[in-house]
């Protein structure tokens, strides 16, 4: 289960469509270790964002190609966020639609990798901690 969770969370952070939240919720409800759920999802999701960072850093020269994952308007919107809020915009790396673009732009703008990794980890791990905490608050009183 933990490997599956890692892989789905990894894919969810890349340009591939995937939703890790359903698997996180399912694993928690099935009684799997909440810390290992959190760790698997957080590490997988963060490493998926590293893929986007690498795409931005090394493959931007192919942005006019049809297969390139981010189109002009998406890049413009992400670039605007980055110009306005700087590296702290990566705290939204967990957010649907804009998160992937922000991690790509961080690579494109050559943000120092350790800063990128730290902020994205806080974003991704924080989101899963919040989700798991809310599940515990929601379901624990119902079960007792």
Using left for φ > 0, alpha for ψ between -120 and 50, and beta otherwise, residue 31 falls in left
Phi (first) and psi of residue 14, to 5 degrees: -95, -170
DSSP labels, 9-72: HHHHHSSS---SHHHHHHHHHTT--HHHHHHHHHHHHHHHHHHHHHHHHHSGGGTTSTT-SS-H
Judge whether 90 and 116 are in contact, CB under 8 Å.
Answer: yes
CB contact at 8 A, 60 and 108: yes
Domain layout of the chain by residue ranges: 2-143
| Sequential pLDDT tens for the chain (144 residues) | 899 999 999 999 987 778 899 999 999 989 899 999 999 999 999 999 999 999 888 876 667 777 666 677 777 777 787 788 889 999 999 988 788 888 988 998 889 999 999 999 999 999 999 999 887 777 665 554
**122 is written with which tokens?**
């806080």
């Amino acid at each position: 289960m933990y490997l599956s969770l890692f892989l789905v969370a990894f894919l969810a952070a890349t340009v591939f469509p995937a939703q890790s939240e359903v698997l996180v919720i399912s694993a928690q409800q099935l009684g799997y270790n909440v810390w290992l759920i959190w760790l698997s999802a957080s590490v997988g999701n963060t490493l998926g964002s590293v893929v986007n960072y690498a795409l931005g850093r090394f493959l931007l020269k192919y942005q006019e190609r049809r297969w390139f994952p981010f189109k002009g308007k998406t890049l413009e919107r992400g670039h605007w966020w980055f110009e306005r809020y700087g590296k702290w915009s990566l705290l939204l790396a967990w957010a649907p639609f804009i998160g992937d673009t922000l991690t790509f732009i961080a690579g494109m703008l050559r943000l120092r990798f350790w800063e990128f990794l730290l902020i994205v980890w806080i974003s991704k791990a924080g989101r899963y901690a919040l989700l798991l905490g809310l599940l515990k608050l929601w379901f624990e009183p119902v079960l007792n």
